[in-house]
Amino acid sequence: MHFLSPLYLQNYRNNYNFAPYFNSIFMNNDLQIRWNSVQKLLAKAGSDACLIATDVNIYYLTEQVFMGFLYFPAEGKPVYFVQRPLGWEGEQIVSIRKPEDIPALLHARGIPLPENLFLEEDQIAYSELVRLKKAFNPAHTGNASAILRQARMIKTPWEIEQFRISAAKQAEAYREIPAVYREGMTDIEFQIEIERIMRKHGSLGIFRVYGRNMNIFMGSVLTGNNAAQPSPFDFALGGAGLHPSIPIGASGETIRDGTPVMVDMAGSFTAYLSDMTRVFAFGELPAEAYRAHRLSMDMHSRLMESVRPGTACAEIYEWSIQMSEKEGFAANFMGITQQAKFVGHGVGLEINELPVLTGRSKDHLLPGMVFAYEPKFVLPGIGAVGNEDTYLVTDSGIEKLTVFEEDIIKQSALS
């Protein structure tokens, strides 16, 4: 198992030329697992190779980020075609100015041009993909985004370790949240202090999203009626936001005694995002809030007890809906005016990976999947309650990665 050791980070920081680390990649067993997984899927789809251009997939396949293209064949070693940074050197690294340089350079290395080239059709802009197609002129093309998304769904040991680091740090950071609350604060003032705590614990600040950009800054803090505001984005809950250009999350609402504050931040302490929501309360909440929050906790208990490898994602969605109906909270579940049609989602390098816990899902949970489960309730006139945790599917069940206080957290509770 490969760890991101302090020594590695030190090497990373001190070397202009990253080649020494690059060469070590070829001894990294964990990376080899990911390569094998993608190669198997490429072969199955009849593809000779894919050309990867997005940061997120380049990082997945190299544990580094560069500007350029990773030529990743269904068989054999990948070739790094690097535009920037300048100065990278290594057996499999080739410096290029533009993608049109690649075919001749492949030829020079004795690598035949792919007949069936897969490109990241769901992630690369139309004009760039057309340009790449023209440069390679392959007989057939296919969608590398779908291949990578499928491969990334099952996490490797090193990836799982990254989640553990993120989740542990997120719990450490959340422990400090009650202490920064001051009476009369607005949601955004509170959020700013939470962001600072997260950053001081090592949050990289990045919130990676698959698909059309959903602008959000580290996460969301919702209190009172703002929790009921629908948003254009595909998050579990909304919030009006501070500005029409970013209509999501905190809106400047003052935190009042007796209203819950829902803190839902992405744990980006490594490249792999843990996702955890907790509810904080300053003063007593109405009994209904505790009752709905208890229901969310019960739903997490049922998840822990019932889910096994092979469990259908749709099944989790169905019993979650049923439990909310049985307790009379169906109209409050996952929003009010606009109810999210999922109760959880895969996490990884991006916050919204596969599988999706929704009624329409055909996916089944498999060992190595990491997903967030987030049964949440919006109570009119009160606010939002419910927890979100990140789980790992193991060989025999699931393991909660975001281990932290689960009741509604009072200001004095953790100090």
Considering only residues 132-171, where is the footprint of its own copies by CB under 8 A?
A: 143, 145
Considering only residues 45-84, where is the footprint of its own copies by CB under 8 A?
A: 53-55, 59, 63-68, 83-84
**Residue 240 or 370: which CB sits closer to its own copies?**
240
Q: How far apart are CA 116 and CA 103, in angstroms?
A: 14
Considering only residues 296-335, where is the footprint of its own copies by CB under 8 A?
A: none
CB 334 within 8 A of CB 236: yes
Kind of pairing between the strands at 389-393 and 398-400: antiparallel
**Residue 122 or 315: which CB sits closer to its own copies?**
122
Q: State the minimum distance, in angstroms, from the CB of residue 295 to its own copies.
A: 25
Site string for its own copies, 105-134 (x = CB under 8 A): --------------x-xxxxxxxxxx----
Considering only residues 339-368, where is the footprint of its own copies by CB under 8 A?
A: 349
Q: State the minimum distance, in angstroms, from the CB of residue 158 to its own copies.
A: 13
Q: How far apart are CA 320 and CA 310, in angstroms?
A: 18
**Residue 105 or 180: which CB sits closer to its own copies?**
180
Q: Which of 228, 265, 266, 365 binds its own copies (CB under 8 A)?
A: 228
Mapped onto helix, strand or coil, the DSSP state of residue 172 is helix
Task: Give 300-327 as a DSSP string.
Answer: HHHHHHH--TT-BHHHHHHHHHHHHHHT
Between the CA atoms of 126, 132, 135 and 136, what dihedral angle is there, to the nearest 10 degrees?
-120
Q: How far apart are CA 174 and CA 36, in angstroms?
A: 37
**Residue 14 or 412: which CB sits closer to its own copies?**
14
Q: How far apart are CA 334 and CA 234, in angstroms?
A: 12
Asked whether position 230 contacts its own copies by CB under 8 A, the answer is yes
**Residue 156 or 387: which CB sits closer to its own copies?**
156
Q: State the minimum distance, in angstroms, from the CB of residue 358 to its own copies.
A: 15
Nearest to 209 by CA among 220, 217, 201: 217
Nearest to 279 by CA among 384, 389, 169, 375: 384
Structure tokens at 36: 């094998």
Q: State the minimum distance, in angstroms, from the CB of residue 83 to its own copies.
A: 8
**Sequence letter at residue 171:** A
Considering only residues 266-295, where is the footprint of its own copies by CB under 8 A?
A: 270-271
Considering only residues 82-101, where is the footprint of its own copies by CB under 8 A?
A: 83-87
CB 107 within 8 A of CB 93: no
Considering only residues 193-222, where is the footprint of its own copies by CB under 8 A?
A: 193, 195-196, 199-200, 202, 204-206, 208, 212-213, 215, 217-218
